[in-house]
Structure 1
């Protein structure tokens, strides 16, 4: 058993996020585990860019009100207690509603080390027009 000290919160990079987003790494599993878990906090209107995960992603909203969209789908509102699963390779984005903060737990796995596949692929930032389609 090992107790890991809390790491400092990190600000999400502008290449991946619109607005102010902060995350706390809960775990970065070491082989044979490949799990990643972060707590992510979005300020109002803040959001990820379009991205996809090689092995999928699960989000669990813990507070606030947010928005999420899969490429080609509707913008959906998300609230505390909602759990969202995005399958492997699905382009999507998620973030806070315009008038609320939003916090979620993000869980995903990385591909096998010898696969040559990146765990997350980042695309364009989400435009205001895309974000406001709710």
Structure 2
């Protein structure tokens, strides 16, 4: 699972944090990374730095795809199936935003991520013992 996410991160300190995190902690970091990439892409559109916009949207799409791939849809969980569909929708919208240089679409996807992120943060905070065991 971690190999799928490395592509999204270029910074060695961040890689170290990812390898030291719980699985839920990794999800939180990925959401935060996607949100940051989308914000940076929006700023790049405003500044007409389209190469930077493309790179940041691509990074956000890679993160969302990593989150999607990590889902256990085959287990039949309704939450996993719903998240899979949502991640596919987000990737589609990010592609549209890139083609159209559309900050409104970027804001929409960022809003979706920001809506779900607190739930993951809460799960991460409520499972410190489980995280420590999982990391051992």
TM-score where L is the length of structure 2: 0.27
- Structure having the higher strand fraction is 1
